[in-house]
Amino acid sequence: MSTSTSAKFINSVYQTVLTRNPGETEFHQAVHEVFESLAPVIDRHPEYSESAVLQRICEPERQIIFRVPWIDDHNRVHINRGFRVQFNSALGPYKGGLRFHPSVLLGTVKFLGFEQIFKNALTGLPIGGGKGGSDFDPKGKSDREVMRFCQSFMTELHRHIGQYVDVPAGDIGVGGREIGYLFGQYKRLTNAYESGVITGKGIGWGGSRARTEATGYGAVIFAQEMLATRDQSFDGRKVLVSGSGNVALYAIQKVQQLGGTVVGASDSQGAVYDPDGIDFDLLRQIKEDERARISEYAERKGGRVQYRTSGSLWSIAKEEQIDVALPCATQNELNAEDARTLVNSGVQAVAEGANMPSTPDAVHTFQKANVLFGPGKAANAGGVATSALEMQQNASRDSWTFEYTEQRLTDIMKRLHRSVQQTADEYGHPGDYVMGANIHGFSLVADAMIAQGVI
């Protein structure tokens, strides 16, 4: 096929995706973003179109939607909706997190599951792609309410998962507390201590050291590798990190270990600008231990810290020259205007710690300005990679040290960066990490799908 015939073919598959999945705009966005890179691959590999890999990869192998009834502390009955989308098992058991957030719809889970297929492939580890979640909001709920919800959620989910079938983990709204309740209920229902059925467990009962830190650390290592291609580093750099969940927190810690200064962080209510550099221990205590708002940080630290509710975190780049931006909050949190603000500020690199945090226009703005841009499916793969290391430890009934696990994570991120970079070079787009990640991830999955026949 010529490149223009390939582009036409890809567009016709995309039209089918739109018709078949009406209203699922985030899913459409995720598919479009991958498809934009694929014409040269389809061109080179006629077997991909002959065996309808593109059409098959957009259709989840299985989608499970279920009712989750639970009773609150005042004896009131609530109904939420639960999801698990088992997207692709060409490379291994379905693997991906659970998101508990009021905004979660089937389309959200499908966008996340679709991204997960390629991200997991890029880790080089044997994991397929899946995702799940619920429109349940853990914010403002008591521990007991969260426990009852998790138990009800798992009462249905347990029949669809297993260490060789589908291995969930955390995502937004699902951390160590929720994983504990989910695992406990799975164990009770199956009467088996199947450690490898879920990742992100506590260190004392089958969890991996460095898993909590892994997504944030990995994103910073990826950014460091990108910077190194231009003989730059984090040392002495000013950085903005959006979010203050587990990804953002440990990205902040790693930037500081590498000599950078993080001058801003945020949560869903507002942002803090701390020109002296975020105090990691204080922020971690407020967000992780106390589950409080980031406004608390400004109140307690005082000094030159400013708390802002209006305008986005990225507007700090109008006042302070920013070298690196790490969007670690949620999808579409960084738009074209934010991207222009960062470019005008002189930003050198952007690495996505969250899934699809930059809008398509923002991505194009960065790329046009020659900013190093690491898309989420490459830059935030450290989390799921360390989940796969947790599965390895569970399978061998072993528990590794923090240092060893972090070294494995670092090696994986460096290898991932290299393979994405090489693919971009090979396809004539040096430095285009979006192209490199999409093409490399897609090819790994497509080759396995073809080898396994039309299923």
Give the binding site for ligand GLU (CB under 6 A). 95-97, 169, 171, 199, 355, 383-384, 387
- Please state the closest distance from residue 164 (CB atom) to ligand GLU, in A: 15
Between 109 and 146, whose beta carbon lies closer to ligand GLU? 109
- Please state the closest distance from residue 97 (CB atom) to ligand GLU, in A: 3
- Please state the closest distance from residue 205 (CB atom) to ligand GLU, in A: 17
Long-range contacts of 69-78 (CB under 8 A, 24+ apart): 69/152, 70/145, 70/148, 70/149, 70/151, 70/152, 71/148, 72/141, 72/145, 73/142, 73/144, 73/145
d(CA 318, CA 3): 41
Between 171 and 333, whose beta carbon lies closer to ligand GLU? 171
d(CA 154, CA 149): 9
264 in Cβ contact with 283 (< 8 Å): no
d(CA 455, CA 451): 11
d(CA 41, CA 151): 45
Between 94 and 442, whose beta carbon lies closer to ligand GLU? 94
Please give the residue whose beta carbon sits closest to ligand GLU in the complex: 97
Between 171 and 279, whose beta carbon lies closer to ligand GLU? 171
Between 95 and 101, whose beta carbon lies closer to ligand GLU? 95
Per the residue annotation, which of 119, 131, 141, 238 is the catalytic one? 131
Between 26 and 171, whose beta carbon lies closer to ligand GLU? 171
d(CA 130, CA 84): 7
- Please state the closest distance from residue 411 (CB atom) to ligand GLU, in A: 18
- Please state the closest distance from residue 209 (CB atom) to ligand GLU, in A: 15
How many Cβ atoms are within 10 Å of 259's Cβ, its own excluded?
Answer: 11
Q: Is 139 a catalytic residue?
A: no
- Please state the closest distance from residue 169 (CB atom) to ligand GLU, in A: 3
Residue numbers annotated as active site: 131
